[in-house]
Amino acid sequence: MSDEDKDAPRTAAEASGSVFERGKSPQKRTGEPRTTGGTSSAKEIEGEVLAGGSMGADVPAKMRTARKIGRRKPLTETAAAAQEAMFTRPSDEDGTHAVPAEAFGLEHDPAQVDPREEKFAELQVSALFGLAALGVIGFVLGFVLMDFHRALGRDLNFVIGGSFTVSLLGLGAGLVLWAKKLLPHDKAVQERHDFHSPEEEELAAEDVFLKGATEMGLGSRKMLRRSLLGAAALLPIPAVLMLRDLGPLPGRSLRHTGWKPGIRLVDVETKLPIKLGDIEIGGIATVMPDGFDTTEHYALAPTILIRFAPGEIRSKKEASWGINDHVAYSKICSHAGCPISLYEQQTHHLLCPCHQSTFDMADDANVIFGPAARRLPQLAIEVDPEGYFVAQKGYTEPVGPSFWERG
């Protein structure tokens, strides 16, 4: 811009002349390094700093208190006055006011800085744009040159993802830097229009509604009105009726597991019966009743069969419900019903992966940690004449989490 421009009004707000005069401190756009124009005397500034009060726009940047992230500086007197004036004065055609940066206590127009600084800023911005271009080239090279099948999911992802990131970041950072260092910092404020409709439109809408109601005869045709109201009143019934599906009560189904006296324990995966001696000391197997299927009927049946070393079982009841150091317990956690088989063969802890309930399997599945409120139910087992494990009887208590009717 030429020197003649410097006093010409740049915005409507300026042209009308007012408080902005102070903000428009005489600055050279070119030539000498910028100086902070000031009308305040050193004494005034000192007084403001000591008082901790807000400082004028002309206070040198060095003397300003440091910004804290996330907290907006209180408006300076000048800026507050500028804002006040803005809303009391006639607006531009579209309701936009431009407020020069100085009025808000910001630094001077970056366009007025030292040309050497300006040149350096230009260099920085174009270097960032260059980086963005390099990122794109890297993306293309990586995509074309790397062996797609070998590098997919490994190096290729990092190369193309990384290069594209560099490219987008460079572009974005360059634009931000451009705006910060080279663009004027004026603020534009636009007033909102009224939210409610003009009165004539509201009246017109009312007319349309009343006209419709009259034409339909809502007032005179009583049968139509009543049958409409009646039909609408029945509408909620299906929604209420569907609540019935919350029932029926489970009855005895939650106590049924599919285990019966004499039924063989089979491996859940191979479906083969398990013989005494198949499980090593310290071993564990997930078993189901022989002939199980994947229906709801057997949903509560999963059971774990554990073999201890002789003498490791501390509970007499546990030992007597098992056979030859083998015991069987429900695999379904008594807390929330997760399947548990994180078994530690030395500590005999059984850990539920859902909420970390821990059961001591050498002490009748006693709960030693976590939210479970009950021991795991034990399945009494014995060995049939052919040497296979069978259930002595079904579970004697409901397995799995608590339910209302459990008692």
Nearer to other proteins, 158 or 209 (CB): 158
Among 98, 284, 299, 383, binds other proteins (CB under 8 A): 284
Task: Enumerate residues 6+ apart whose C-beta is below 8 A from 54.
Answer: 48, 74, 75, 76, 77
Nearer to other proteins, 249 or 281 (CB): 281
Name the segment binding other proteins (CB under 8 A); options: 133-141, 190-198, 246-254, 264-272. Answer: 264-272
Among 143, 178, 298, 343, binds other proteins (CB under 8 A): 343
Minimum distance, C-beta of residue 284 to other proteins, in the bound complex (Å): 4
Q: Is the peptide bond before 248 cis (omega within 30 degrees of 0)?
A: yes
Do the beta carbons of residue 338 and residue 354 sit within 8 Å? yes
247-250 long-range contacts, Cβ below 8 Å, gap at least 24?
A: 249/405, 250/403, 250/405
Residues 188/101/30/40 CA torsion (nearest 10 deg):
150
Read off the DSSP letter of residue 365.
T
Among 84, 344, 384, 397, binds other proteins (CB under 8 A): 344
Beta strands in 249-341 (DSSP E): 265-267, 284-289, 303-307, 326-330
Minimum distance, C-beta of residue 151 to other proteins, in the bound complex (Å): 9
Contact between 351 and other proteins by CB under 8 A: the answer reads: yes
Beta strands in 104-180 (DSSP E): none
Minimum distance, C-beta of residue 108 to other proteins, in the bound complex (Å): 18
Among 28, 64, 89, 275, binds other proteins (CB under 8 A): 275
Nearest CA to 7 out of 183, 79, 17, 40 is that of: 17
Q: Is 348 left (phi over 0), alpha (psi -120 to 50) or beta?
A: left
Binding pattern to other proteins, positions 67-86, x when CB under 8 A?
x-xxx---------------
Calpha distance 13→19 (Å, rounded): 10
Name the segment binding other proteins (CB under 8 A); options: 75-83, 138-146, 337-345, 381-389. Answer: 337-345
Binders of other proteins: how many residues, by CB under 8 A? Answer: 41
Contact between 341 and other proteins by CB under 8 A: the answer reads: yes
Minimum distance, C-beta of residue 179 to other proteins, in the bound complex (Å): 11
Do the beta carbons of residue 339 and residue 363 sit within 8 Å? no
Nearest CA to 359 out of 389, 329, 319 is that of: 329
Minimum distance, C-beta of residue 11 to other proteins, in the bound complex (Å): 20
Nearest CA to 112 out of 6, 204, 188 is that of: 6
Nearer to other proteins, 87 or 369 (CB): 369
Looking only at residues 97 through 156 of this chain, which bind other proteins when binding is defined by CB under 8 A? 152-154
Name the segment binding other proteins (CB under 8 A); options: 28-36, 78-86, 229-237, 333-341. Answer: 333-341
Contact between 347 and other proteins by CB under 8 A: the answer reads: yes
Among 92, 278, 312, 382, binds other proteins (CB under 8 A): 278
Alpha-carbon torsion (343, 349, 350, 351), positive or negative: negative
Nearer to other proteins, 254 or 340 (CB): 340
Do the beta carbons of residue 129 and residue 212 sit within 8 Å? no
Contact between 286 and other proteins by CB under 8 A: the answer reads: yes
Nearest CA to 88 out of 23, 24, 18 is that of: 18
Nearer to other proteins, 155 or 207 (CB): 155
Contact between 283 and other proteins by CB under 8 A: the answer reads: yes
Query: Interface with other proteins by CB under 8 A: which residues?
Result: 67, 69-71, 152-154, 157-158, 161, 267-270, 274-275, 277-286, 339-347, 349, 351, 353, 356, 358, 369
